[in-house]
Structure 1
Amino acid sequence: MHQPLSRIVSQLKSEPSRTGSLIITVFGDAIVPRGGSVWLGSLLAFFEGLAIDGSVVRTAMSRLTAEGWFERTRSGRNSFYRLTRRGEQTFAGATRHIYESLPTEWNGSFELVLIGGTDDREQARTALRDAGFGSPLPGVFVALTSIASPDAVEGAIRLQASAGSDMARRLVAESWALERTAEAYRKFTASFAPLKASIERGEALTDGQAFTARILLIHHYRRIVLRDPLLPAELLPGNWPGRQARALCGEIYRLLLPGAERWLDAHATNEEGPLPAADAALMRRFADEDEAR
């Protein structure tokens, strides 16, 4: 296998099993832009390239379906999966967070959410953190006003607050584990920069390797960025590594996209046959990074 990619795969295998999370990445990054439905055999072909047993993939798909992420249809002995309505809504928010441009300005306001009166505090905490909220105190959550509160948090008290830059930076530092996020971005950059360098040196990837690299790139990146509140630069510590990591991710993604899409053309099918061509939005992912260069 291509050496930098081999190291990334080895890193994945050294971690606890994340087959379900990888399936989520495959759907969000590659299947949704191409109609949203895929044959189970197409997923098995991808995971075979990672030496992940088909029984593990089937078990993960069954669990995700039971949890309400996917719905399954059958045609003879073949199973096909697509996102449920709930899954589509969750993916839409995650897609914006991962691929669209970063905020550049802050209007001086925060949204505060108090969850002391909710029936299920743990569910509320999870929903708010997944939506990008931080927490400076137990039961108190904060976000920029541009982030909408999840509808799932019923009974919460919502307030609008303003703050000067110094106080805002203190609030940010107390609400989010920014250093932990920064370290995750640094590790991401260290892991994937050699892949970019090797491609630019002309060390070619097969189409299958390009698809594998694309999925692992987004798999690693989304695990960090979906926990990142994506704050404007004025509220972040100096030399914030998230912007470097995002630029690197966008550059590699664009290099991998042609070969990865060819692999899908050749190997991925749905109920009607080969997957349809990707929608135009796929080519606009990380477009702000192209404009920045």
Structure 2
Amino acid sequence: MQARSALFDLYGDYLRTRGSRAPVAALVRLLAPLDIAAPAVRTAVSRMVRQGWLHPLRLASGPGYLLTPKAARRLDEAAARVYRTGRGGWDGRFDMVVLHDAPLARRDADRLAYLGYGALGPQVWVAPRASDELETALQEAGAGYERFSAGHTAGSAGAAGIVARAWDMDRIGQSYQDFEERLRPVVRAVTARSSDEEAYAARFRLVHAWRSFLFHDPQLPAPLLPPGWPGIRAAAFFDKHAARLRPAADRYVERCLQTTGRSARVGFSEP
């Protein structure tokens, strides 16, 4: 797990609701259970400051870092997708973008994929839901484009064909099955005899792995999902264990934020 990616997870899942700030010493303590060393944390923090994600500030407990408005927006949007809140139905129409010129660079294409868009060809992208960030992403890429809202004349069958061309659903489905197999022993290892730190580390790895789906799964509405979609079972697995481990993880976070160097072992308790 990379320090920069872990910091985004930490701020998004734990610090966003705690003032969006933390002393650097607490950041180091909170990433230590993930085997991320202090120098890596400090280097990643400096990089995130340069990129406009974090803002340095002085806290009562020492130097700290606050999320910038840009980062707060991005993390709030990511949280809504991770926990699948605020998602409505589907009106049968795709948001379609036709680029004027050459295909997007890899970095810009990855950004569109993160926003839920799939490529029908080098210059045509579609998504089942329009993203508020799309125009900004294309402007920063320097791409000219036309944007349409379109439904397929062949109805559901035509829409299914669009999905099959824009996304490799077999690969994504296999990724969900692999996710369950990889994380099941991690979360099941946390029992009533485990410490809060152990519960926190397991939950952090669970959420980190789940968050990776934001980069390649468009989170299609139910009418567009293949029959027996593995993502539904994987989501239930994630929800169950993320909720089960949350109280102990929260206790550990609070202790790291409130203490300086003092360690304690508090038993994990099942809800």
**TM-score tier (shorter):** 0.7 to 0.9
Is 1:97 the counterpart of 2:47? The answer is: no
TM-superposed CA distance for 1:198, in Å, is: 4.5
- Cα distance between partner residues in 2 of 1:44 and 1:198: 24
TM-superposed CA distance for 1:64, in Å, is: 1.4
For residue 106 of structure 1, give the secondary structure of its aligned residue in structure 2.
coil
Which residue matches 1:129? 113
TM-superposed CA distance for 1:70, in Å, is: 0.7
Against the structure 1 CA distance between its residues 149 and 83, is the aligned structure 2 distance closer, same or farther, given a 3 Å change threshold? closer
Q: 2:17 aligns with which of 26, 30, 33?
A: 33
Q: 2:53 aligns with which of 51, 60, 69?
A: 69
For residue 63 of structure 1, give the secondary structure of its aligned residue in structure 2.
helix
Structure 1, 111-120 or 237-246: larger mean CA deviation: 111-120
Is 1:166 the counterpart of 2:150? The answer is: no
Size of the aligned set, in residue pairs, is 252
For residue 66 of structure 2, give the secondary structure of its aligned residue in structure 1.
strand
CA contact (8 A) 2:23 2:59 kept: no
Q: TM-score, normalised by structure 2?
A: 0.84
Unaligned 5+ runs, structure 2: 260-271
Q: TM-score, normalised by structure 1?
A: 0.78
TM-superposed CA distance for 1:133, in Å, is: 0.6
Which residue matches 2:168? 177
Which residue matches 2:227? 238
Is 1:51 the counterpart of 2:30? The answer is: no
How much identity, in percent, do the aligned residues show? 28
Which residue matches 1:258? 247
For residue 17 of structure 2, give the secondary structure of its aligned residue in structure 1.
helix
CA contact (8 A) 2:90 2:221 kept: yes
- Cα distance between partner residues in 2 of 1:118 and 1:219: 34
- Cα distance between partner residues in 1 of 2:175 and 2:224: 19
Which residue matches 2:268? none
CA contact (8 A) 1:102 1:230 kept: no
TM-superposed CA distance for 1:21, in Å, is: 0.5
- Identify the structure with bigger relative contact order (alpha carbons < 8 Å, sequence gap 6+): 1
- Cα distance between partner residues in 2 of 1:94 and 1:118: 29
Against the structure 1 CA distance between its residues 156 and 203, is the aligned structure 2 distance closer, same or farther, given a 3 Å change threshold? same
Q: 1:193 aligns with which of 168, 177, 184?
A: 184
TM-superposed CA distance for 1:145, in Å, is: 3.6
TM-superposed CA distance for 1:120, in Å, is: 7.0
Which residue matches 1:215? 204
- Cα distance between partner residues in 1 of 2:115 and 2:48: 20
